[in-house]
Amino acid sequence: MISILTVSLVPLALGLFLFHSEALGPNALPLLSTYMALPLVAALASFWAPARLARWATLFFASAQLGLALKIFCLYQTALGGYQFTEQFPGLEGLGLHYALGVDGLSAPLLILVSAVYWAGVLASWDSPARPKEYFAFFSLMTAGAAGAFLSLDLFFFFLFYELDILPMFLLIGIWGSGRKQYAATKFALYLVGGSALILVGFLALHFASGINSFDIRVLGDLAQTGFSPAFQNFWFPVLGVGFGVLLALIPFHTWSPDAYASAPTAASMMNAGVLKTLGGYGLLRVALPALPDGAKHWLPLFAVLAVLNMLYASLVALRQKDIKYVVAYSSVAHCGYLVLGICTLEATGFSGAALQMVSQGLLTAFAFGLVGLIENRTGTRQWEQLGGLSALAPVLGGLFMLNTMANVGLPGFSSFVAEFMVFLGAFRSGFEGGFAILKILFPIAVTAIVIGAVYYLRLMQNVFFGPVRRPTEGPFVDLRSREILPLVLLLVLSLAIGLYPKPWADMVNSSLVPLIDHLGGFK
């Protein structure tokens, strides 16, 4: 435990204080590229290091990356807004490609999410999986892909980094997964590649229809320069919307996600459900809405219907699941509905809610999957009907699961409360104050879905942790060790930080969302 703390805190401090400080000169290393490259270095290191050191190497770089994420978050100047720490290198001018990274109010909190889930995921898979070198290398590669996608300002690199996630995730499910892992892995890869085919075509269409030889997100989001016709926007918005919708597990494109999450090893589920899915919402806010505002106004009501269907349908399905991991998987699908609903309000509060929901559902889903992994590890089963009274045996596990239930139900104090409240407020305003009239109908349905969410989580809590002790195997039951608690605590603390004092986070996301709302021009 002490060695884990040392290997975590030293690089964390290095990332926070030493790096990029005056001691190394003003621009010793490009900040964002280093942030993106750290998991790549970790992947190489764990691949070349001896097998027993792979996890230590990964932990080292993951902690350093977490330090950098905190540093970027602290250094980002909310008052200035816009893209900061931008880095740009010339690329293929003839094709309009260039490598450009930047961070703004929307992506800075997401970097913390990426690094926190990465760090927690490494610790969650600490008890060496088979072939640890490859395992940690693929896990790091996935993180690098997510980090790169959040930072890219060029559509080519955005797409490249996003697709970089698919192969490692496929292997993580297929090799280290459980249950119908080959089926789940193949389904995952085919769905995501199918979705990304739409995204790719949409990106190319934006590029060529703009008449500007550039893939720069900043340029393509500037209507004065691109001047897409409304007909063009109406045609291409749903293409991009469905492409990102597959990633978001939006109904009816969601069927890959519960299978993938339930079959994947714990850390991969955490990263995929927590971070990768968020990328879909991020893509909508970052690319589709700014470039195609008229198309968005035309199509968002339909997406709002899908979002509410997501909440309702996934919650109802979760109610019927016997496998705890499937319950959490469907719950994560349901929570993405809030995110999409927030975007569909086309209103400032709703947007902030959506952005906070990205971070919040990422943290909490990762938290829930981490807990499920521990329950399975202790009891050898994931069928909740076989379990009961665990909190008598393991009070810490029970306590953490109670907090998880409260957070997922959306009690005040947790980030989910703030995010969901803002989404609902936005939906209400949009519906009743001249936005999308359909939200008037959808709003009460969405609130009902929250209640269903409370039902399945509370029932799970009651069955698994209260009542007489039931478990399939006998023998001693060890409560959580400090090494297992540590990653969960990090995720929980971050969620509470947002929930108890949301102002800095909300200000930060608003610094890039308020200009976006102005750009979209409100309702016509």
Q: Which of 194, 301, 389, 515 binds another protein (CB under 8 A)?
A: 194
Q: Return the residue matching tokens 């800075």.
A: 108
> In the beta sheet, which residues pair with residue 383?
323
The rounded distance, in Å, linking the Cα atoms of 68 and 66 is 5
> What would the two tokens of residue 115 be?
């690094």
Q: Which stretch binds another protein (CB under 8 A): 160-168, 255-263, 352-360, 436-444?
A: 160-168
- Give the Cα-Cα-Cα angle 503, 508, 509 (nearest 5 degrees): 105
The rounded distance, in Å, linking the Cα atoms of 343 and 281 is 8
The distance from CA 146 to its chain's CA centroid, rounded to whole angstroms, is 9
* Site track 63-92 with another protein (rule: CB under 8 A), x = hit: ----------------------------xx
Q: Is 396 helix (H, G, I), strand (E, B) or coil?
A: helix
Q: Which stretch binds another protein (CB under 8 A): 178-186, 320-328, 454-462, 473-481?
A: 178-186
**Does position 171 bind another protein by CB under 8 A?**
yes
Which of 258, 158, 167, 259 is CA-nearest to residue 215? 158
* Site track 465-494 with another protein (rule: CB under 8 A), x = hit: ------------------------------
Q: Which of 118, 119, 126, 156 binds another protein (CB under 8 A)?
A: 156
Q: Which of 7, 53, 175, 452 binds another protein (CB under 8 A)?
A: 175
- Give the Cα-Cα-Cα angle 512, 514, 517 (nearest 5 degrees): 115
Q: Which is nearer to another protein, 233 or 331 (CB)?
A: 233
> In the beta sheet, which residues pair with residue 101?
87, 152
Long-range interactions of 56-59: CB distance < 8 A, separation 24+ = 56/7, 57/136, 58/122, 58/136, 58/139, 58/140, 59/4, 59/7, 59/8, 59/119, 59/122, 59/123
Q: Which stretch binds another protein (CB under 8 A): 201-209, 263-271, 305-313, 327-335?
A: 201-209
Q: Which of 28, 160, 212, 497 binds another protein (CB under 8 A)?
A: 160
**Min separation Cβ 170 and another protein, Å:** 8
**Does position 201 bind another protein by CB under 8 A?**
yes
**Does position 205 bind another protein by CB under 8 A?**
yes
User: In 380-414, which ranges are continuous DSSP H helix?
Assistant: 390-393, 395-409
**Does position 33 bind another protein by CB under 8 A?**
no
**Min separation Cβ 197 and another protein, Å:** 4
**Does position 28 bind another protein by CB under 8 A?**
no
- Give the Cα-Cα-Cα angle 422, 426, 431 (nearest 5 degrees): 150
The distance from CA 347 to its chain's CA centroid, rounded to whole angstroms, is 22
Q: Which is nearer to another protein, 207 or 277 (CB)?
A: 207
**Min separation Cβ 166 and another protein, Å:** 6
Q: Which is nearer to another protein, 201 or 438 (CB)?
A: 201
**Does position 208 bind another protein by CB under 8 A?**
yes
Residues that bind another protein (CB under 8 A): 91-92, 94-95, 156, 159-161, 163-164, 166-167, 170-171, 174-175, 181-182, 185-186, 189-190, 193-194, 196-197, 200-201, 204-205, 207-208
